[in-house]
Structure 1
Amino acid sequence: MINAAVTCEQIKDGDAVNPQMSLPNMLYCVVPLDWCPHLERLQPMPPEGLNPQTPCETCGDPRENWVCLHCYQVHCGRYVNQHMIQHGLECHHQLTLSYSDLSVWCYECEEYIHNEVLLPFKRDAHWKKFGEMMLGTE
């Protein structure tokens, strides 16, 4: 019998169930990297900050958009028209922030990233999206 109360830390530390196992109602977690060499290429946030309501600059779609943390262009994600993927590949801009869930993805590392240097971007987007401070980052 598998313990259903497996934590993300157990998964991260390799103490959890076999990752190849697929069970109904089993939860999975994503453990972001805490460092990525592309964090060093971040550009300062624009003076006006971020705007989570910005539609894709290529197709105008308002859903599932990401902001490039190198040039601050906004494009739609892989489940819409993949314009941010195209932007990242063409411009070699690796880091992008999701306006859907405020996660940061690195196209070159192919991993989610969470680092203290990303908190100002996440806080700004959270404030403008929800009208309140982001919990746990004061």
Structure 2
Amino acid sequence: MPIVPSQAGYPVNRRTNCPHIQDHVSPDWAKVTVDVSKPCTVCNDASENWRCLECQGVFCSRYIKGHAAEHNQGTSHPISVSFSDLSTWCYACDDYVTDPLLKPIEAALHLSKFGTIPPDSGDIEIASEENSTAGGEGTSGSASKA
């Protein structure tokens, strides 16, 4: 089946100078376990969700009911990460973003989604599942090396 131009993907160039990451990403990410199957906290949809990197809330995408964007509008929490493709979006920059501070987050998401740590993760520490709270989300008492 040929690819229709409107359905073709395109490469995303992630912004490397987002000024919002430093102030709006929770510093405790190395202690947080992630469950990429967790549903939206508003509508309970689990098909395409984003996690706020400031308050850790999980909300559905603009292609479902738009609760992630509504959360940003109501709280001014600008940075969210997609459970679908593990990309990070800044609502304030209106762009995909990347930063070394996001590496532990990306590793935790990759572990939850694929069961492995990505090969380029180096010596990143992430929380182990046995230290998480009910539901696979929460702050652990101690982080384990992945």
- Asked if these proteins are the same fold (TM beyond 0.5), I'd say yes
Greater helix share, structure number: 2
Q: Once the 2 structures are TM-superposed, how far is the Cα of residue 48 of structure 1 from its aligned partner?
A: 3.6
* 1:29 and 2:11 matched: yes
What CA RMSD, in Å, does the superposition of the two structures yield over aligned residues?
Answer: 1.9
Greater strand share, structure number: 2
Q: Report the TM-score when normalising by structure 1.
A: 0.77
Deviations 1:8-58 (A, max 9, x none): xxxxxxxxxxxxxxx799763110011211111211227342221110000
The aligned counterpart of 2:82 is 98
Q: Which has the higher contact order (CA 8 A, sep 6+)?
A: 2
Q: Report the TM-score when normalising by structure 2.
A: 0.73
- List alignment gaps of at least 5 residues for structure 2: 123-146
Structure-2 separation of matches of 1:88 and 1:74: 12
- List alignment gaps of at least 5 residues for structure 1: 1-22
Structure-1 separation of matches of 2:95 and 2:21: 13
Counting only pairs closer than 5 Å after superposition, residues 98-117 of structure 1 correspond to structure 2 as 98-117=82-101
User: Which portions of structure 1, spanning 4 or more consecutive aligned residues, are displaced by more than 6 angstroms?
Assistant: 23-27
Residues 136, 110 of structure 1: alpha-carbon distance in 2 compared, 3 angstrom cutoff: same
| Structure with max Cα Rg | 1
The aligned counterpart of 1:77 is 61
